[in-house]
């Protein structure tokens, strides 16, 4: 395909629409996005607290917990050690300073989330520069206007990069995940780095290949083969004939050899240190593979539309509008990073948000290239949809907060009380001030859109990302105490520690029964509670539901005389803990 044919692309854009988004605004949006909800809360059940537990184990244990992630004495043989390394190093470096202002535990919690800022920065820079490189290529340029006026390639690439980053920040599914001490933020960062690396190889193949090797190895360190394979297969596909990197295939060994060397530098010491952990790691990965099933397909069809909102409709539209340019790098590269993870999901026994996250970045990339092909009327309609949707969401957040503190409206207040049973609502004036600022920001953004009628391509994307961030800021300021109360295990961990100190005799051990991984990690983080694997323990800590106790389906439900302690989180109606002493 000749450059002359490329100039007849479906993109239509004037230099006025390619006005640059001010860098301070883009930086402010990114900072508010990642900082809101990241601090001033406890780690929550499941992946958030599990990641923190592996970091604290690495610092407190004398065994191989730095090399092999563990939760206390329990081998956490699922992901790699990247998140553990980053978080534990930040705890060592920043916790002593933070402990001057708060408790040692809270200082460690705050320090463990500092890597999220790094993951956010790496993801944002990789996406922006990758799209910028693709957007300024001749294949992606908009149609040349009869009398001129189309943007120059650099301005065009810059406006597409801004739009791609804003669309990424507007994606609903990763909003909460980006604020966890889990593998997802790091996995997104290194996937974005892999995308940037293959894009860089179009111009500078050697440096791009070495960067790709680093990104692939870090994906392996972050989430094992499930993190590595999607990006690896996508990259390999791009080197096949009739693909953008076919002429650069002689540099592919540089990427593969550097990635393999880095991976072996961890795997060989890990294998020598603990064969049990590595065997369990291999078993977990192999057991995750399965033949395609209707259940997995149904879950994808049900969950992906909301998880990838609002980028997936634009991504599909980009594939249709650019259907005659499928071999062009700005379409083929994001498409490879979209199709290969999606295909691999069909062969997983269970898929959920960590796997869905691998589709977020390529979906946002394709969506950005759809924007120059849209007519002004369609863009205006999308702008109005964002205004109505997020205005309603912000109003709902305020209405719920009013119901929480005043009891009106009555029905909403009752529904909230069911979810926050035992919570005493107290107005935080600093949080209220932050929420008011966020609301005023959204009102100002809407007023700017209504009164100035901006022509810039990023006007719709800044409405979507700004609306989502404003809603999240209100939730993080107004609702964080109530949400933290409903999801934290700090209080019940304290109660359990007291019960163990009171009832455990010298020489006795406690083993868990049906205790979830997130609950076990929470007990370790908040109170350092450890359990034994011995079947000879006379004490059992049981996790059970009240309904199972009532209908007699729970183990030991008929031995109430041996119950030493019962406890639960006040707002949780489906979970409780029991400390049992078994008969000799």
Q: How far is CA 238 from CA 242, 243, 366, 424, 563, in A?
A: 9, 5, 16, 56, 61
pLDDT at position 6, please?
Answer: 46
Higher-pLDDT residue of 149 and 254 is 254
91 pLDDT more than 90: yes
pLDDT at position 559, please?
Answer: 65
pLDDT at position 287, please?
Answer: 94
Residues 211-223 have a mean pLDDT of 98
pLDDT at position 63, please?
Answer: 81
Got the DSSP string for 138-204?
GGGPPPPPTT--PPPHHHHHHHHHHHHHHHHHH-STTTTGGGSSSHHHHHHHHHHHHHHHHHHTTT-
Q: Which residues of 80-114 are buried (b: 16+ CB within 10 A; e: fewer)?
A: bbbbbbbbbbbbeebbeebbeeeeebbbbbbbbbb
Q: How far is CA 70 from CA 106, 116, 136, 249, 306, in A?
A: 21, 21, 46, 40, 33
**Contact status, residue 167 vs residue 33, Cβ threshold 8 Å:** no
pLDDT at position 452, please?
Answer: 86
Higher-pLDDT residue of 46 and 389 is 389
Residues 221-236 have a mean pLDDT of 97
pTM: 0.95
Describe the crossing of helices 311-321 and 360-370 by its angle, rounded to 10 degrees: 60
Q: What count of Cα atoms within 13 Å lies in the side-chain half-sphere of residue 123?
A: 30
Strand ranges inside 284-361, DSSP E: none
550 pLDDT more than 90: no
Higher-pLDDT residue of 9 and 339 is 339
pLDDT cut 70: percent of the chain above it: 98
pLDDT at position 555, please?
Answer: 86
**Contact status, residue 563 vs residue 579, Cβ threshold 8 Å:** yes
For residues 428, 432, 435 and 439, what is the CA-based torsion angle, rounded to 10 degrees? 160
pLDDT band at 553 (very low <50, low <70, confident <90, very high): confident
Convert the pLDDT of each residue in 317-334 to its tens digit: 999 999 999 999 999 999
303 pLDDT more than 70: yes
pLDDT cut 90: percent of the chain above it: 83
Q: How far is CA 37 from the centre of its chain?
A: 13
Convert the pLDDT of each residue in 332-341 to its tens digit: 999 999 999 9
pLDDT at position 3, please?
Answer: 44
Q: What count of Cα atoms within 13 Å lies in the side-chain half-sphere of residue 151?
A: 27
311 pLDDT more than 80: yes
pLDDT band at 561 (very low <50, low <70, confident <90, very high): low
Residues 459-481 have a mean pLDDT of 95
What mean pLDDT value characterizes the chain? 93
Window from 114-118, 508-512, 557-561 with minimum mean pLDDT: 557-561
For residues 456, 461, 466 and 472, what is the CA-based torsion angle, rounded to 10 degrees? 180
pLDDT band at 560 (very low <50, low <70, confident <90, very high): low
**Burial (0-12, 13-18, 19+ Cβ within 10 Å), 427:** exposed
pLDDT at position 2, please?
Answer: 41
């Amino acid at each position: 395909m000749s450059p002359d044919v490329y100039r007849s692309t479906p993109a239509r854009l004037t230099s006025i629409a390619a006005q640059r988004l001010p860098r301070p605004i883009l930086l402010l949006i990114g900072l508010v996005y990642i900082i809101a909800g990241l601090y001033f809360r406890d780690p929550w059940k499941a992946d958030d607290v599990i990641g923190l537990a592996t970091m604290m184990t690495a610092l407190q244990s004398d065994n191989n917990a730095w090399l092999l992630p563990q939760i206390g004495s329990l081998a956490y043989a699922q992901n790699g050690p990247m998140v553990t390394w980053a978080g534990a190093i930040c705890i060592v470096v920043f916790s002593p300073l933070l402990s001057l202002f708060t408790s040692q535990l809270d200082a460690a919690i705050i320090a463990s989330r500092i890597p999220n800022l790094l993951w956010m920065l790496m993801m944002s820079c990789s996406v922006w520069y990758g799209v910028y490189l693709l957007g300024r290529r001749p294949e992606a340029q908009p149609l040349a206007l009869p009398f001129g006026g189309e943007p120059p390639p650099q301005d065009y690439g810059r406006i597409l990069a801004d739009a791609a980053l804003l669309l990424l920040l507007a994606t609903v599914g990763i909003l909460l995940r980006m604020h966890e001490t889990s593998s997802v933020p790091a996995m997104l960062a290194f996937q974005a780095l892999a995308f940037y690396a293959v894009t860089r190889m179009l111009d500078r193949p050697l440096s791009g290949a070495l960067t790709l090797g680093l990104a692939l190895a870090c994906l392996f360190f972050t989430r094992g083969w499930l993190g590595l394979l999607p990006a690896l297969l996508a990259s390999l596909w791009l080197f096949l004939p009739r693909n953008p990197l076919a002429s650069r295939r002689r540099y592919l060994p540089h990427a593969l050899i550097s990635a393999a060397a880095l991976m072996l530098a961890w795997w060989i010491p890990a294998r020598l240190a603990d064969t049990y952990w590595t065997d369990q790691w291999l078993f977990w990965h192999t057991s995750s593979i399965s033949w395609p099933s209707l259940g997995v397909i149904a879950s994808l069809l049900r969950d992906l539309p909301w998880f990838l909102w609002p980028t997936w409709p634009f991504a599909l539209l980009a594939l249709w509008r650019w259907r005659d340019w499928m071999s062009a790098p700005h379409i083929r590269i994001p498409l490879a990073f979209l199709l290969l993870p999606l295909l691999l999901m069909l062969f997983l026994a269970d898929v959920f948000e960590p796997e869905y996250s691998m589709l977020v970045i390529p979906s946002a990339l394709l969506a950005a290239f759809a924007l120059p092909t849209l007519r002004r009327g369609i863009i205006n309609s999308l702008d109005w949809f964002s205004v109505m949707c997020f205005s309603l969401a912000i109003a709902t957040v305020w209405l719920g907060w009013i119901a929480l503190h005043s009891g009106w409206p009555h029905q909403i207040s009752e529904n909230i009380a069911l979810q926050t049973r035992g919570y005493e609502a107290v107005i935080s004036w600093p949080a209220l001030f932050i929420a008011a600022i966020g609301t005023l920001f959204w009102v100002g953004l809407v007023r700017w859109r209504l009164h100035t009628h901006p022509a810039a391509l990023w006007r719709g994307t800044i409405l979507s990302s700004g609306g989502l961030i404003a809603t999240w800021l209100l939730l993080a300021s107004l609702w964080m105490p109530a949400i933290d109360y409903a999801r934290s295990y700090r209080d019940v961990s304290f109660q359990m520690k007291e019960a163990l100190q009171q009832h455990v005799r010298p020489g006795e051990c406690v083993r868990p029964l049906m205790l979830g991984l997130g609950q076990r990690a929470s007990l370790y983080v908040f109170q350092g509670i450890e359990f034994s694997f011995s079947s000879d323990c006379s004490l059992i800590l049981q996790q059970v539901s009240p309904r199972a106790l009532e209908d007699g389906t729970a183990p030991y439900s008929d031995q109430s005389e041996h119950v030493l302690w019962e406890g639960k989180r006040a707002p949780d109606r489906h979970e409780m803990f029991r400390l049992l002493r078994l008969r000799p």
